Structure formats: structure tokens, C-alpha cells
């Protein structure tokens, strides 16, 4: 097998997302042939080198990848572990070893989230370059005005830069919006709505990369079908 970047290889083995693998390297938790790995990454030969994370060997032959859909409830954080001891999405999965969430929903938001051990797919679904769509159902404190709708559709400018034009469909006399985004900034939708003067009462992700939440109950998980996984891979540009 040809040489490969360590961080990318760790992500492909499902140890973490690509960014998560880089963080493991920075924290000094990865060793190559019993020697701490370079924090900036290095080339490895997976067939010859001994790779360890937290003292445990990472084998190049892994069990089949896992792909789960989760309906994240309110009050749960979208991380593998939380230093404050708050419940995480992995607490909702009976056998969640090796899984990590794809993208994030903040603690006060709910709805569709993916859990997987496929680092490459996770990286692509959350990278702005690939523009995976995310649709949210938002309940507002007051009906939205025509001016506010126009501002949303044009893409308001936030403190971290302009946003892309947004697809918005109002319902319930403007008190409920279905909003589709293709970026992944922190709390982006809440900040966009705040920018145009709207108050969010409830925010639920109902679709991600073409996969719908459907009737999955809050806190429940289900395996994605082969067709759904194939669709995610197409959305991520993986064929």
C-alpha cells in the first residue's frame, strides 16, 4: 500500500472525522511505531507501521461502516463527550463505540443528525465545498414580514462574513418557516434570523443531504438503508 497522510488514514478508519483526527495528533494521542506522531501529520505505510491511538492499536482492516440517523432531542449536545457532563448524542446509542456525529445541532435545537464511523464521508458532508443541503422547520415568535423574507432570501451579512442566498418557504401565516442552507457555520440559521429581526421559538432539522427525518421519534436512532447511504455518498461527491 502506498504512503498516506496519517490524519486522512485515521479518518478513513473511522477513528474520528478529519478535523477530529488532526486534533488527536495535536493532543499527542497518536503514536507511530511507539513514537509520538508529528502534530502536523506525517506519511505512513499502514501495512508496515504500527499505529496507536490512546495506547490501542488501530488495525487497517475494519468491520463494515455504520450509518445511523438520530432524532436529537433538546438539551443533548452533538459531541462524543462533554467536559461539563451534559448528555451527548452517543448516550442515546446503546452501542456507540467508534461513532461520531456528522455536523452539529446546538443544544437548543433538535432533529436529524447522522452518526457514523466513516470519517471521509463525515468530512465531506460538513465541508462547505460540497454544499450538502440542510432543511429546518423554524417556529417564530411572530409572523415574518415581506421585508424580512427578502433579506433572508438575499443572504444577510453576519459578523463572520456574508451568507449565501437562502431558500425559504413560509407556512402558518408566516409563523413557521422551512429554510434550506448549504453552509455549516456555528448557529448560522439562528444568527441569520436574529439579523433580520426574527425570534426563534423552536428549530428542528427535518432533512439533511436528501435524507428526511420522517416519523423517527425524539431520541430514537435507526440504521440508514443502502440506498440512503448511496445518496449521502453522491451528495458528498464520493460516487
Q: pLDDT tens for residues 117-149?
A: 888 888 889 887 888 999 999 999 999 999 999
**Within a domain: 192:** yes
Pick the range with the lowest mean pLDDT from 13-17, 21-25, 168-172.
13-17
172 and 228, same domain (yes or no): no
Residue 85 shares a structural domain with residue 186: no
Same structural domain, 145 and 199: yes
Residue 187 burial class via C-beta count within 10 angstroms: exposed 0-12, middle 13-18, buried 19 and up = middle
Average pLDDT rounded to a whole number, residues 26-45: 88
Residue 58: closest CA among 96, 101, 25: 25
Co-location of 138 and 204 in the same domain: yes
Does pLDDT of 33 surpass 90?
Answer: no
User: Do residues 200 and 215 both lie within one domain?
Assistant: no
Q: Would you name the residues annotated as active-site residues?
A: 106
Same domain, 121 and 223: yes
The confidence score (pLDDT) of residue 2 equals 64
User: Do residues 154 and 49 share a domain?
Assistant: no
Q: Are 134 and 181 in contact (CB under 8 A)?
A: yes
Measured between alpha carbons, how far is 237 from 165 in angstroms, rounded to an integer? 22
- Same domain for 102 and 83: yes
Which comes out higher in pLDDT, residue 55 or 73? Answer: 73
**Residue the block writes with cell 460538513:** 126
| pLDDT tens digits along 178-212 | 999 988 788 899 999 999 999 999 999 999 999 99
Mean of the per-residue pLDDT values for the chain?
89
Q: Domain limits at 37?
A: 4-57
Amino acid at each position: 500500500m502506498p504512503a498516506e497522510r496519517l490524519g486522512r488514514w485515521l479518518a478513513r478508519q473511522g477513528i474520528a472525522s478529519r478535523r477530529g483526527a488532526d486534533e488527536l495528533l495535536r493532543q499527542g494521542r497518536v503514536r507511530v511505531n511507539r513514537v509520538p506522531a508529528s502534530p502536523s501529520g506525517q506519511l505512513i505505510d499502514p501495512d508496515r507501521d504500527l499505529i496507536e491511538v490512546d495506547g490501542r492499536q488501530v488495525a487497517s482492516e475494519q468491520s463494515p461502516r455504520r450509518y445511523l440517523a438520530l432524532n436529537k432531542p433538546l438539551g443533548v449536545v452533538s459531541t462524543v463527550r462533554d467536559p461539563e457532563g451534559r448528555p451527548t448524542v452517543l448516550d442515546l446509542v446503546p452501542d456507540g463505540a467508534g461513532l461520531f456525529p456528522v455536523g452539529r445541532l446546538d443544544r437548543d435545537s433538535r432533529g436529524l443528525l447522522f452518526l457514523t464511523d466513516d470519517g471521509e464521508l463525515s468530512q465531506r458532508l460538513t465541508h462547505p465545498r460540497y454544499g450538502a443541503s440542510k432543511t429546518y422547520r423554524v417556529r417564530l415568535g411572530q409572523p415574518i414580514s415581506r421585508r424580512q423574507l427578502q433579506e433572508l432570501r438575499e443572504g444577510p451579512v453576519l459578523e463572520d462574513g456574508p451568507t449565501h442566498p437562502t431558500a425559504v418557504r413560509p407556512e402558518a401565516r408566516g409563523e413557521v418557516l422551512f429554510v434550506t442552507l448549504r453552509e455549516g457555520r456555528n448557529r448560522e440559521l439562528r444568527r441569520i434570523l436574529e439579523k433580520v429581526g426574527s425570534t426563534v421559538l423552536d428549530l428542528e432539522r427535518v432533512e439533511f443531504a436528501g435524507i428526511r427525518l420522517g416519523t423517527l421519534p425524539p431520541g430514537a436512532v435507526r440504521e440508514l438503508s443502502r440506498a440512503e447511504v448511496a445518496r449521502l455518498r453522491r451528495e458528498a461527491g464520493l460516487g
